[in-house]
Chains A and B, each alone.
Chain A
């Protein structure tokens, strides 16, 4: 089902979001990844490393908020994030929300995914997930702004959200 600015996605929503990010050519500014659990996504169509590499090539800043890792797969994903200068990483033990936002220079190109899916291979290959993709058109723009403010400002500044890694600036 697709309205003008939202779309309900029941098949591999996280992969749909990542593919849109990975394949789109318009100028992007920020990628916000909010997921309690994160994997490297090795073996799926778009890997976490691929996402980070695109961000480096295109000067996109990535903001990640996840739970502190307890499992090996989660730690490996954290290691991936830690190896990229353009990634900011924060932990919040209470995090349950799953929200992914790509903020583009032209707001009408921005998009977000809000739903049940973690940023893991299980959510792509095994789990039954549902999510809503929101596009920066019409009323979608206001929803995206609210979600961006929540993700980029409110969640990052909660007392129990701890900064793990800052973005390192590549000076020109």
Chain B
């Protein structure tokens, strides 16, 4: 018998949840009903036309920011808000910023996350539905150069790739610009032009019945930018993306920060905050009380343990524990909750999941079918002490 069978795990090797490794884990959002409902309500409101989500979530390491992003994707895909008329096209990216990163690097990450093939498919579909692609693209992008470059995305080979490089913001040579029939590179007019191109791509998505929403994790990376000019260009890019006039490209940014002031400064400048809206800055808190910890752990165990198998095991082996806390005895479960709640800053989902795993591994080492208080007493101080 292996670890998975020993603890009646539900199609998984351990008690760890990680939507990056196992996409099905995105459906979990244990405990924290209040914050979950608040974010979902904000999301629903954000789609009321003309609108898209523009949100910043923040919290400490291990508070569940990444899980929140993946869960919101799951929510949008499976319970699409009524106000969202198109199918959400959700794109995840982990932001990467270096000391000299500027708006061009950010734009490149966003556009590359979307990918050339998606954009080309959208243009192809538009072409099959319209009588005049040129006019249609000009109405979508509101700019002749963008419309010309977009038209070239349909082409295969060099020219299609060149058009994509143009949208990515690469500086092209004069003869390359001539081949695309455009008068300048995208970045020549600064970050506003790049945002316009991205918003244009968002409108293209809408014409294809899709809504473009970027989920950007690790926004603390903005703190790596040390150059003043680069910071300003990133700030301008964000401010323009947050403008009410952008109703085509949504974004949810997640950042490590204990408080709002702890975030990268460009994310919380007054002009950005007013555009995004104070209500759309949401803290993902630790679990504030012992009751929250209990709910989190009960929900986690209920999902990760195969209930029928566990019930059978409890009865057959006369384990004397309730299904609600299995594989913990009631006393061990309460002890773990108490340990976790002693220092509220450590009552974090990542720590709780780690504690459950380590307690289970410890019981497995001794081939104990259940986790008793002595194990919790050994393990919990290592994590919450």
Contact = CB atoms under 8 A, between A and B. Distances in A.
Contacts of A141: 20, 94
A141 B19 CA distance: 13
Chain A contact residues, majority secondary structure: loop
B28 interface: no
B273 to A, nearest CB: 25
A106 B350 CA distance: 12
Given A105-B61, A138-B94, A142-B20, A157 B364 contact: yes
Contacts of B218: 108
Contact of A145 (B14, B21, B361): B21
Contact of B14 (A61, A149, A166): A149
Contacts of A154: 13-14
B385 A171 contact: yes
A68 to B, nearest CB: 16
A154 to B, nearest CB: 6
B61 A142 contact: no
Interface residues of B, number: 24
Contacts of A107: 61
Contact of A153 (B357, B365, B385): B357
Contact of A149 (B21, B256, B381): B21
B378 interface: yes
Interface string A135-153: 0011001100110010001
B106 interface: no
B307 interface: no
A106 B13 contact: no
A142 B385 contact: no
B2 interface: yes
Interface in A107-130: 107-108
B312 interface: no
B189 interface: no
A145 B20 contact: yes
Contacts of B381: 169, 171-172
A24 interface: no
Interface in B336-384: 357, 361-362, 364-365, 378, 381-382
Interface string A1-21: 000100000000000000000
Contact of B378 (A108, A145, A157, A166): A166
Given A146-B21, A166-B378, A171-B381, A108 B16 contact: no
A139 to B, nearest CB: 8
B221 interface: yes
A172 B385 contact: yes
A56 B21 CA distance: 31
Q: Report the 5 A-B pairs with minimum CB-CB distance, sorted nearest first.
A: A157-B3, A153-B14, A163-B365, A169-B381, A142-B20
11 contacts: A4-B96, A105-B61, A106-B61, A106-B256, A138-B96, A142-B20, A149-B21, A153-B14, A154-B14, A157-B2, A169-B381
